[in-house]
Amino acid sequence: MDADSNKLLKVQPSGYGSVWHSGTTVSMEVTGYQQVQWRVILCHILTVLTVGMLRLIFYWKPVLEVLFKCNPCHLSQSDWVVIKDSFNQQFIASVCTEEIEDDCFPQLAEPGGDDNHITLAIGVLEDDWRDTVQLQKQKEKNVIRYYTFEGLRYIWTERKGNFCKLSDFDEMLMCEDIHKQRKGLSKHNQNKKRQVYGPNMIEVLVKPYFTLLVEEVLNPFYIFQIFSIILWIIEEYYYYAACILLISVISIGISLYQTHKQSVMLRNMVKLTLNVQVHRESGEEEVISSQDLVPGDCIVIPEDGILVPCDVALLNGECMVNESMLTGESVPVMKTPLPIQNVIYSTEEHKRHTLFCGTQVLQSKSYSTDQQVLAVVVKTGFCTSKGELISSILYPKPLGFMFYKDAMKFIIFLGILALIGDIYSIVILEKQRVSVGRVLTRILDLITIIIPPALPAAMTVGAIYAQDRLKKYGIFCISPPRINICGKLKLICFDKTGTLTEEGLDYWGVVLAGGKNFDPIIQDTQRLVSSRMLHALATCHSVTLLNNRPIGDPLDLKMIESTGWTLSNEMPDCDVNATFGMKVLAFMKPPLLEEHTFGSNEETVLGILRRFPFSSTLQRMSVITKKPGNSSFEVYMKGAPEMVASLCVKETVPADFSGVLRCYAKDGYRVLGLAYKTLSLGITFETLHTLERNSVESDMTFLGFLIMRNILKPETKPVIDNLIRADFRTVMVTGDNMLTALNVARNCGMVGLTDKVIFANASPPSFDSPACVKFQLTDPAPDENGTEQLQQQPGNYSLEQSYYHFALNGNSFAVIYDYFPDLLQKILLRGTVYARMAPSQKTQLVESLQKLEYIVGMCGDGANDCGALKAADAGISLSESEASVASPFTSKIDNIECIPMIIREGRASLITSFGVFKYMAMYSMIQFVSVLILYTINSNLGDWQYLYFDLVITTTVAILMGRTGPAKQLAAQRPVGSLINITILGSLLLQTVLVVLIQVLAYSVTTTQSWFVPASISSTSSKLPNYENTALFCVSGFQYLILATVLSKGQPFRKPLYSNVLFLVALVLLYTMMIFLTIYPLQFVRKILQLMFIDDMKFKLLLLVFAALQFFISFLFELAIDNGFLNACKRPLCKKKSSKKLYKRLEKELCYNLAWPRLNEIIYAE
């Protein structure tokens, strides 16, 4: 680095050259590197000298190329950056410099800054940084410096001193600022912003076939194949080399076709280009391509809908949107205008006011006849919600599964074994005075034998078969490696509504607030003639008409159905503006007069003027309505009873609120609270749509409860019972009431009828006291203030040895998560019911369970569970959508019967992967031992013998072994997930010893026969055929088949071997063929395979006896290992170690700590 640059950097901080980026989901360390010219020249020279090997290494490990060619430097001067993510993966990215126009980018908000603004390095750089630009450009220019990583652009920001994700610059945008952008951008400003933001595209690169071919051939697997083929040709194994080459070419061709096809399919699924109408700053409108959109553009949403090309915030009107592509939720969602508030805009917090990229607007409706529905672009390209999901598919996080890591360790071990074999071979062949060239080819040949190049492909066979079987059941998987992980699941979280219980709720009745106490339940809603409760039921919903058919939340549809009222978009017989005084969104018409059973003709049409949609965070929704004429405006609210009661005037909430709510919730009913208030008359249409939600939803009058019956799906209880019998932990995480959730948990079997339930009641810190937690026995009961209380149990005592479950709501979970991290771990061990959980809290729960080293599954309907489904090790979305990106698994089976199916397939796939891995390892060991024995007489296997073993036997076995289906029942035990395990390693060791003994025995017996003639010692001949080779060929041929048989385990995780008919038939044919080749091979077969003719029938039968002995002992070994023989032998020799799994260690501590938890004792945060 030159002196001028050093002068600029001055005194560097300790983290010089590196900066941590922390995001919502990942964190990464970015380190800057500057290219050094002499290093680049040296690299080119070494590449030539190593015949391209250095270039190949750099291709496999790009980070090494940057380290070789560059010096570490400050990020402001970097030509390259090395990115290290939270999984310790390293990537490189080139830093680009682009000249742009002046003031191309607006000043952007920065939290915590002195002037609350930051300035990008896009104008003339000042102070110390001005010299840097002059050194680079020789003159002052307006430039931005950025790199692109996983589709996202990171721009250098001068104030922060690091590269910031482009979307971060819009993080502090206020809702009222978005409304100010309704005029749109000028053409000039749009073009300038596009220079920074780039085109609005989620680009999936489809590489040409030639590029894919080069990348495939340069894969280490195929490089090893090429090396092996060249070696076999040198050794004159022409037929074998030709066959392997042909198979490799076919394999490459299939791989290229599949890769190209998947890329094209994903590109077509993602590609979204259409013409959109935008507002210009001048007041004009223009139709442009969606690719030209940038944040700040104001677009028009047509009445008949649009496929949304980016994330946009809705400014006015209402939109009915199908979000199934993103969430898997098939029910359309109502979107309403973004409130004009001085609060920070967030796509998560304001998702009910945001139209997400890739979703389909079914219809839009303006509040005014002369006004268009407008929306402002907030995010484009990979910064959108769809872009983030596509990025997670293109760049998935590493699975971190021990099986795959251990497989690589084992291959390294095989390499070490090959080195030992090479040393032995050199010694043996040197004694025989074999030429150096032949020694070299022989020792290299050992490497190709003991490290099977087909191993990586063979290990995926089980997952491919499992994926195909799941597809036949309507279960689709976009990440096949996760199928194996499903075999190790220990804990499964379930959403409640639509997952454990029926999606649609049945109307049961209403309970009116009759003053100080509630009235008896009214089950016939039509008796509520001309009452505000009836009006609340008829209007407080988000249902809309699409093609004259009502669509919306199933609960809302049932509620409207119970009233007999009908929804309409128009009133043909009257002037709406004259009748209601303003634009009306929808009309609710009462049933015809003759349909009234108890009523009169007093009912009239109600107009819905504005909706505040349901929010899982706020736990409520509301509408503003009006009757025809000069009547006042009325607000109706519906939501969680506790929340509704907390927003009502206290005097209107009956005294027996808690008791009545507790009564219905304990019986499993879904209870909703309803309330109303009257607004003043002097409100105009414009004022109505600027009212803040908080002011509208306050000082309400409590009306009563709506009681809905939410019954369990008939499949739920049998599946939960099955999972519990198989030793799975089942957890319910729901947004519903605690008591309702507990009732469902008991009814479905998650909580036993005699099990105790402890409610963890936590309170946040206040002015005079820290956060606290109190454990209370019995069920919680909500009070009129919206907090869930418990019937007090006198005295402080512990549960001692009784089994118990923890139950807590979202508020308590938040407090414990923030202030009691150690206590949280213990609660999670026994936590079974989590109620009133927000979507973000569901994600936090899954991630917290993973920190305890649980392998977690999550099953939900995809609507409010997207984050949790993506975070879980195995997320299963119950959805009608086949290609939803909401989770790795999507099931068209609309109940949880898919869970045992996926687990059983996962276990079968995992066992198949272990079985195939062990078989491929043993196949290498059998051939390795055979070759080493033959090296002692300077011989080897023949060309066609290799072909027979590798293609006829091994390939057939590896392909068909994985077809064995899963066991019908879930076993209580789980399969091992690691290869570094005494059962796996013990099995391989014992089987290897047996293989060596049988082959040495066969070789020794052969050399003692009276007719035996030893092969002549010659370094120039392969000496085939010979008796030693023939004997070993026959014995080792049986060994391949015997190990294929004994390693194809059935129960408890797979069906028996005989259920795999194709595999069974193949084994029978191969055994028959080997017996035929041993007892009576035909002359032309002997000639092809280079076998000696042996006339001694007793010797041939003896070889069959050796094979039978191998089968019997191998079978006994596997039987003993499966029954825990090795673990029993290890126990007296080794001290019992604590489990590697954190949750097991904590569970053990809890079992010994009988005094915890102390009930009714307040615990304060430190």
User: Catalytic residue numbers?
Assistant: 495
Closest CA to 475 of 50, 920, 900: 900
- Torsion 966-967-970-976 (CA) sign: negative
Q: How many residues does the chain have?
A: 1166
Burial class of residue 496 (count of CB atoms within 10 Å of its CB; 0-12, 13-18, 19+): buried
Q: Name the residue with tokens 């979202």.
A: 810
* DSSP 8-state class, residue 386: H
Question: Cβ(760)–Cβ(1127) under 8 Å?
Answer: no
SS (H, E, C) 211-259: HHHHHHHCCHHHHHHHHHHHHHHHCCCHHHHHHHHHHHHHHHHHHHHHH
List strand residue ranges (DSSP E) for 627-668, in order: 633-639
**CA 270 – CA 392 distance, rounded (Å):** 13
Asked, as a colleague might, if the bond just before 900 is cis with ω within 30 of 0, I would say no
CA distances, 750 to each of 97, 500, 662, 689 (Å): 58, 11, 20, 46
Say if strands 856-860 and 491-494 run parallel, antiparallel, or are unpaired. parallel
Buried (b) or exposed (e) across 1010-1046, using 16+ Cβ within 10 A?
Answer: eebeebeeeeeebbbbbbbbbbbbbbbbbbbbbbbbb
Concatenated DSSP letters of 111-172: TT-SSSEE-BTTS---THHHHHHHHHHSS---EEEEEEETTEEEEEETTTTEEEEGGGGGTT
Nearest in space to 309 (alpha carbons), one of 361, 266, 365, 366: 361
For the record, the structure tokens of 375 come out as 């929306």
- H or E stretch including 827? helix 821-830
Distance from C-alpha of 98 to C-alpha of 119, rounded to nearest angstrom: 17
Residue whose C-alpha is closest to residue 224's, from 40, 452, 54: 452
3-class DSSP state for residue 367? Answer: coil
Q: Which of 875, 822, 818, 825 is nearest to 848 (CA)?
A: 825
Say if residue 31 is exposed, middle or buried (CB neighbours under 10 Å; 0-12, 13-18, 19+).
Answer: buried
Q: Answer yes or no: are the C-beta atoms of 503 and 713 closer than 8 Å.
A: no
Contact 109, 201 (CB under 8 A): no
The CA–CA distances, whole Å, from 397 to 87, 150, 263, 872, 902 equal: 8, 12, 19, 12, 21
* 3-class DSSP assignment, residue 268: helix
In angstroms, the Cα distances linking 1005 to 1000, 1025, 1102 are 8, 18, 9
Cβ atoms of 567 and 365 closer than 8 Å: no
Q: How far is CA 1109 from CA 1038, 1042, 1046, 1106, in A?
A: 11, 10, 13, 5
How far, in Å, CA of 284 to CA of 300, rounded?
Answer: 12
The two structure tokens encoding residue 55: 């270039």
Residue 936's CB is within 10 A of a number of other CB atoms, namely 15
- Retrieve residue 915's tokens: 């079985």
Q: Which of 235, 753, 852, 358 is nearest to 227 (CA)?
A: 235
